[in-house]
Amino acid sequence: MSESELLDILSRVKDPEIPVVDIVGLGIVRGVSCGDSEIVVQITPTYSGCPAMDVIRREIVEEFQKSGYDTVRIETVLAPPWTTDWISEDAKTSLREYGIAPPGPVEEEPLIPLPRRRATITCPFCGSQNTERKSEFGATACKALHYCHACQQPFEHFKAF
């Protein structure tokens, strides 16, 4: 089976926290191969302790079993750490259409001085940049809660890290 066919199977696995994005588009699939007796999938968590990883691992195995592969080994790759730069453009579009402002590029910044400059976040509903961060954390640790003053809609932003 080709890598492309294996990635097609993996693209059926959605992020349980953001169901409009699959794990391939999210950029957590680091590699996939088909050996003589098993499928090997390498994944990187979006952040340490991400609660969705157990569900994702289980669903990876289930999708390959549905396709006739009984032995699936999942390897966790921690270095280099996942970055929002690995999210595909299609996945960013899906986030925007779902009402989550996608992350911009990660900028190389020194660790000091603090506070860190905050980028202007564009509203995914109306496109206005007249937005305000209301909370550092949204429904999950990887998203922040924002409010658009133009269309008066709250929305989440997938943080760049």
Residue 91 falls inside a structural domain? no
Domain end marker among 54, 82, 110: 82
Torsion sign over Cα 88, 6, 46, 53: positive
Q: How many domains does the chain have?
A: 2
Check whether the bond before 113 is cis (ω within 30° of 0): yes
Domain end marker among 82, 109, 131: 82
Residue 47 falls inside a structural domain? yes
Rounded mean pLDDT of 22-46? 95
Q: Do 35 and 103 lie in a common domain?
A: no
128 pLDDT higher than 80: yes
DSSP 87-154: S-HHHHHHHHHHTEEPP-PPP---S-SSSPPPPPPPPTTT----EEEEES--SSTTEEEEEETTT--E
Q: Do 110 and 151 lie in a common domain?
A: yes
Q: Which segment of 127-131, 143-147, 156-160 scores lowest on mean pLDDT?
A: 156-160
Q: Do 103 and 51 lie in a common domain?
A: no
Domain end marker among 39, 55, 82: 82
pLDDT of residue 117: 61
Q: Do 122 and 151 lie in a common domain?
A: yes
140 pLDDT higher than 70: yes
pLDDT of residue 110: 57
Task: Copy the structure tokens of residue 98.
Answer: 């779902």
Residue 36 falls inside a structural domain? yes
Q: Do 77 and 104 lie in a common domain?
A: no
What's the CATH code of the domain at 32? 3.30.300.130
Domain range for 18: 3-82
pLDDT of residue 102: 94
Q: Do 149 and 123 lie in a common domain?
A: yes
88-127 pLDDT, tens digit per residue, is 999 999 999 999 999 988 877 655 555 556 778 999 999 9
